[in-house]
Amino acid sequence: MTHPFALDGQTALVTGSASGLGFEMAMALAQAGAHVLVNGRHAERLGAAVTAIIRKGGKAEPFLLDVFDAEAVDAAMAKAPPIHILVNNAGARDRRAFLDMEDADFRRLVEMDLLAPAHLTRQVARGMVARKAGGRIINITSIAGPLSRAGDAAYTTAKGGLEALTRALAADLGPHGITVNAIAPGYMLTAANEAQSRDQTLREWLSRRTSLGRWGHPEEVAGAAVFLASPAASYITGQILAVDGGYMAHF
């Protein structure tokens, strides 16, 4: 009997996976047996990420693509190998007060964090449906989807939309054997959050605000991705899995 978390024979595309959360998920999926397409916009960084995965015994190759460019996505998908697992991880953030943003700024973030993954998902899901072999789609949302704070309106709007899209696509694609779930990370020690992580006031507040009393590490998101991509999660769809140290459960 196959191990319930084994991904042998599966091809996974993880967007924005040259570093941070995306890289850790790509590494974990590869170690579970998947052949991973490591995605990004910079060839040198992609090469380094692929090399690191292969050195750990995984199977990976670079997938140079700007997933925010719809035309480039269409061209790449026409040539891409069959994809069994899609992780929509790439995104952007603009931490500005709502009144300081112009319509174009707001629209740009929604396009990058919601419309771009929706477009890529449509292209990948068409292939999954045509092959009649099911598939796994995992959207990386955020605790800033169901929750909000000042100075993050566009990001919260986009991630809330991606969470809703996850449920909607679970309904649309379920009849084809495709599961659609999301992972909502909490405060993670990524390069993007480096300055925040050094803020002693924030560290002390987070130690009180989360059940586990600390920041999360990028590799702690990776296990959730492997689980949702695996046969062990075959009857789970339309769900949002918070990996947040108990942030949303604790008050």
For 244, phi then psi, to 5°, come to -140, 15
3-state secondary structure of 106: helix
Residues in the chain, total: 251
Provide Rg for the chain, Cα atoms. 18
> Is residue 53 packed enough to be buried (19+ CB in 10 Å), middle (13-18) or exposed (0-12)?
buried
Amino acid at 77: M
Strand 178-185: give its sheet, edge to edge: 59-64, 35-40, 11-14, 85-88, 135-140, 178-185, 240-243
CB-CB neighbours of 189 under 10 Å: 16
Q: Which of 155, 187, 235, 247 is catalytic?
A: 155
The verdict on whether 155 is a catalytic residue reads yes
Q: Which residues are marked as active site? A: 155
